[in-house]
Structure formats: C-alpha cells, structure tokens
Chains A and B, each alone.
Chain A
C-alpha cells in the first residue's frame, strides 16, 4: 500500500505554480482585498506579455546591449587547484562560476527588474516602487527607472541604509528616492511591509517591482522566469565548455531569486544535484541567523505561504546575517516546495565562513564577490574537496562585492 504521508514527486519539477499560484502548499495570494484586484491585474498582464514575442525581444535586447548578457562562465582554476590541495587523492571537483556579478549594476537583480519595468509600462503604470536589502535590487530598479524616465521610490530598512551606504548613494545618483524604514528591525522584511503599505495607498498609478521569488502570485513565478536566463545560459555554456551538464549547482538563498534562476532550467535533470545556501549568521545553534528552511516552518507573510522564521505563536522573528541581501526571515515558495520534495538540498554558511570565502575568492581569482554569493562559495569550499576530480561544480557568483568592502573592513578590524 502506498504511504500517503510520503510526498510523491511530481512528473516534472518545472510545472509550478498551479492556477492558484501554488507550489504544492506554498505560494498563493495572501493579500488584503485592496491589493487583490491589482495582483490579478499584474498576473493577467504578465500572462499576456509572456505570449508577446515583442515583449521578449525588447527584454532580450536590453539584456544584451544594456546589461551585457550573456554573462561569462568562468573556470575558477586557482580556486579549483587550491581546494584540491586539501583534498584526498582523486578528489576536488572542477569549480566554475556563473559570473552574474559582471552584469550592469553588479548583480543578477537587473534581469528581473528590466522584465518588470517593461511590464509596468505595458500596464500603463507611471511610478515604480521597490524594496531592497543589500541595495542591489534598489540600484537595479533605480537604474531601469532612470533609463525609462520613471519616478522611483525605494524602501530600505534604516539598518541596511547604514550598512550599505555606497548603494544608497548610487540610488540617489540615479534619481531614486530612498525611504529609510524604521519599523521592526529596520531590515528587508520591514522594507517589504512598508512597500506593500505604500502600494495599497497608490494602487492606481504604481507598480511594485519585487526583487525576489517571493510575494503574492504571480511574483514568485515571474521573477523566476526572468532570472532563469542565468540557468539557461549556464546550461548552454557548460555544454560548450565540457560537453555535459554540471554535477552540482550551488547558490546563495535569501528570498532565493539567483538560486531559482540558476536551478530552474536544470530541475528535471536528475543527475544535477542542487544546493541552496542560507545565511547561518552567528550559527544555526544561535537565534541569530536567516535559515528559514532549516530552522523555520511554513507560515504566511508578504502575500505567500513559505518557510518562515517564527515563534510558537506565529509572530515573525527577525533574521540575522552579515549580508543584508540574505537577512530575510522567509524564503520563496518554490524553494519551500523543492525543500519538501527533497529535490534541492539546503544548507547554511555562517557570517565567518562567508567572510573567509570573500577573502579567499578575492586573492585567488581576483574577483571580489558580494557577501551573498560568498555564502555559496563557503559551501563550495566545503563540498568541492569531497567530490571526485572529474566532477563539475557550478556556483552562481550573483553579485560583486564593491558594496560590501566597508562591512568587511569593519569585521576585519580595518580602519578605512
């Protein structure tokens, strides 16, 4: 007899979401009635845009000539050699980076922002709002708004404004208004609350450009679709470089957009293992981390059901990470679903491990990574030496670290 408590894997891992915007039990549209008609309008507009070849052509033109796609696939030879030194004989996988840090604006965020801004224009919206944690999504949104001459307001937790000063200044240079949010712990969660509140009051003319694969349907699916350009390119590039698919993919997870973008085109290739790396902050044994999948349980926040850091009474807990971009108590619904199905393995990397990886990558590869992918790199450093030499490990280097040098300097006790 079939064990009904066991989750039966679907025929395809790429079939979600369903008509209600659900990935299994996750996702959905848990928003106040005031927003509901607008959410339905966004969904309708996105469905129409997806089928419009002109929409796709315009987005791809921007990716090529404005963003600089495709981003290179880089064989990180010195990193590979370094990790082989500490490995057993015959061990030490070949490490590749998908270099989305080379995108215009310095991270993967711009991929989905341009798609969404084109959508907003189709919908006749004349104002753009966004939330931001590390500031990468805010910078990307401010950039696209400058390009399309749209007024832009970015909500950013006051704590993050403090620790990401370079990006705050960038957004202002680009003509955006940055609104510091002081409620709660004044980080990404609170910025998203405030953006949603602002949106409710300005539904007529405003489009909310969400930065990650979370929020009410259709945002998780839409942001994933745009970010999937990362995985689609990587797949073709790996075929060309190695004549086969990689054995493992590694990506950092806050809300989960860069990971979803890399993973999605590989989900139905069972030979490709996938590892999402959450921020373990000061350690998973402490209260100070952002490991929603490992330490949270399903709940509803920001319009969707997802794994959520919360107390026994359903009050949302504050996340912690050295990386502002991972400092979020939830994780996108598709990741929540892939976690329950076991298709993707989710692990944690601490602040200290990320700091070490940040420095190692700078010295060995001449690439200063953002603190977010430095978490993914920490897992690569752990995992590659356990894998065979013939195996290939591909990591999404989703952002560059210019914005983080002040934070890192402070942690290393360096006066700047």
Chain B
C-alpha cells in the first residue's frame, strides 16, 4: 500500500480527516524550508504538499507568487527540491509527500527521469496544476511505472459530464478546488461544500481533500469533516512571509511561528 493510501486508511480508522499543509520549497531559504518540513509531522501535518517554485504560477494568488520568487532567488530548482525530499525522508518514512507545481520545470527536467528521481527521493504523489487529463498521457505511464500517484484537481466548474473522466485519471486522493479562483483569495461557503463533496463521492472511492481559501482552524476542521482532508497553503505562506525581516530573510522565530500555526490547525481537526 502506498504511503498516501496507508495514511488515509489510518485516519479513517481514527475517525478524522487529514491536515494537508502546503509550503513552497526553498522559501525563503533551503535551511529554513527544510527545518519547517522536518517539523511538520510533529506539529500535526498528516500529508505534506511541497510547492515547486515556478516563475509563472498561473493558478496562484499574490502570496504564493511572492513565495515562488523568494524561493527562486534562494536558488530553488526541481533537482534541489528532490534533494530536500531525500533529506526529509532520512528521518520520516511514513508521512506522504506530494509535489505541487507546474509542468514546464518537469518538462525541462525530462518527464521520465523526473518520475524516476522523484520516486527514488521519496515523493509519493504529483499535482501538476496545468496538466489536465486531456494532456496527461505524456506523464501517466511514467508516473505509473514509478508508483507515483497523480492527484487531480476537481473544480466547481468541473461538470457532471466531465467528472468521471477527471476522477478516472486520479489516484491517491482527489483535490477539490473549492472556489473558482486562484489560491489565497476567497473561501467557499459550507453550503457549497456540502453540495460539492457528495457530488464527487458519487464518482469515486478515493479520499477527497478540500483546498483553496482554507485559512483558519475552524475552516480546516469543517473541511476535514465534510471531506477527508483540508489543505492549508496561503495562510501558512503568509505567516512565513510576515515573520521575515525587511530584506526577506528568515528570523529565528520563523520556523516556530509556522509550526505553531500548523499545531493550531491540527488541534482543530482532531477536536472536530
């Protein structure tokens, strides 16, 4: 069983949803980024999403755009992100790691070589934002050969006719983009989630995680209750950004502040 399937099976037994945390690799520097990554499981993150920096993150709002620029300035590349995952894996064999990013850096790396190296580094799944099912045949066979899950985004705009196709190409878990919009801008209402999640469940047995616009412990708890997990990204990136000094460098309290926020989110989900 893959780490992702194992983790969701364990959580189901425990009767709670997952906390999925997103941070951009190398933001604001490799050492701080790795320290946060290593601290995440202890702080209560059940699944870790690592953003792969890209110059043109078209689905991301201003916070994550700025995080990507900080990360690129700090020297982030796809191979260095994989090296960071290897470092993380030396101490943690159980927490699933999902890379989230855009297609071009993977193309530049070479799709097949990337899948081999990602799996070898301890990556469990991929979210490639600008690779819809219509274009995924370039990646699917290589990801499958390396047992990497291809996690698909489902959006409020994904209609009934399209849903089976999108979900049929998904493995690991389903990422429900709860708003029509970019990251970190608006939040979905409970009513819209209560309608959307059963609609998806009619077509899939996979766990459904809810993301985009989840900022507070209350929102995370609700999403984890309605779905099988809550993805929190921009709120953590904002905390990290607010902790930096005026030159954009990490302060001694940066790592602790981010992990404290993760603890608050985890507690709310466990209490729900």
Specify the chain B residue showing the minimal Cβ separation from A30: B130
The answer to whether B56 and A300 touch across the interface, beta carbons within 8 angstroms, is: no
Ranked 5 nearest A-B pairs via Cβ = A314-B108, A201-B181, A314-B105, A34-B155, A33-B153
Q: How far is the CB of A148 from chain B (nearest CB, A)?
A: 25
> How far, in whole Å, are A204 and B104 apart by their CA atoms in the complex?
28
Residues of A within 8 A of B106 (CB): 314
The answer to whether B107 and A31 touch across the interface, beta carbons within 8 angstroms, is: no
The answer to whether B65 and A30 touch across the interface, beta carbons within 8 angstroms, is: no
The answer to whether B132 and A33 touch across the interface, beta carbons within 8 angstroms, is: yes
Selected contact of A314 from candidates B58, B109, B155, CB within 8 Å: B109
Selected contact of A316 from candidates B55, B109, B132, CB within 8 Å: B55
The answer to whether A193 and B56 touch across the interface, beta carbons within 8 angstroms, is: yes
Q: How far is the CB of A43 from chain B (nearest CB, A)?
A: 11
Residues of A within 8 A of B58 (CB): 32, 193, 196-197, 302
The answer to whether A313 and B152 touch across the interface, beta carbons within 8 angstroms, is: no
The answer to whether B134 and A29 touch across the interface, beta carbons within 8 angstroms, is: yes
Q: Which of B85-93, B156-164, B214-222 contacts A (4 or more CB under 8 A)?
A: B156-164
Q: A300-B104, A300-B130, A301-B56 are in contact. Are A30 and B135 (CB under 8 A)?
A: yes
Specify the chain A residue showing the minimal Cβ separation from B181: A201
A220 within 8 A of B: no
Q: A184-B56, A313-B78 are in contact. Are A34 and B108 (CB under 8 A)?
A: no
Q: Mark interface residues in A197-228 (1 if CB within 8 Å of B CB, else 0).
A: 10011111000000000000000000000000
The answer to whether B107 and A315 touch across the interface, beta carbons within 8 angstroms, is: no
Q: How far is the CB of A317 from chain B (nearest CB, A)?
A: 8
The answer to whether A32 and B159 touch across the interface, beta carbons within 8 angstroms, is: no
B257 within 8 A of A: no
Residues of B within 8 A of A29 (CB): 132, 134-135
Residues of A within 8 A of B180 (CB): 34, 200-204
Which B residues, 133 to 159, have Cβ-Cβ distances below 8 Å to chain A? 134-135, 152-159
> How far, in whole Å, are A29 and B130 apart by their CA atoms in the complex?
8
How many chain A residues touch the partner (CB < 8 A)? Answer: 36
The answer to whether B104 and A310 touch across the interface, beta carbons within 8 angstroms, is: yes
Selected contact of B154 from candidates A33, A197, A299, CB within 8 Å: A33
Task: Name 20 extra pairs, CB < 8 A, besides A33-B153, A300-B102, A313-B105.
Answer: A32-B129, A33-B152, A34-B181, A37-B157, A196-B58, A201-B181, A201-B186, A300-B130, A301-B104, A302-B58, A303-B130, A312-B108, A313-B108, A313-B109, A314-B78, A314-B107, A314-B108, A315-B54, A316-B55, A316-B104
The answer to whether A34 and B177 touch across the interface, beta carbons within 8 angstroms, is: yes
The answer to whether B105 and A315 touch across the interface, beta carbons within 8 angstroms, is: yes
Residues of A within 8 A of B159 (CB): 37
The answer to whether A28 and B135 touch across the interface, beta carbons within 8 angstroms, is: yes
B59 within 8 A of A: yes
Q: How far is the CB of A41 from chain B (nearest CB, A)?
A: 10
A126 within 8 A of B: no
> How far, in whole Å, are A310 and B60 apart by their CA atoms in the complex?
20
6 chain-A/chain-B pairs, Cβ below 8 angstroms: A36-B158, A38-B157, A200-B59, A314-B54, A315-B104, A315-B105
The answer to whether B107 and A300 touch across the interface, beta carbons within 8 angstroms, is: yes
Which A residues, 1 to 54, have Cβ-Cβ distances below 8 Å to chain B? 20, 28-38
A362 within 8 A of B: no
The answer to whether B182 and A189 touch across the interface, beta carbons within 8 angstroms, is: no
The answer to whether A34 and B105 touch across the interface, beta carbons within 8 angstroms, is: no
B268 within 8 A of A: no
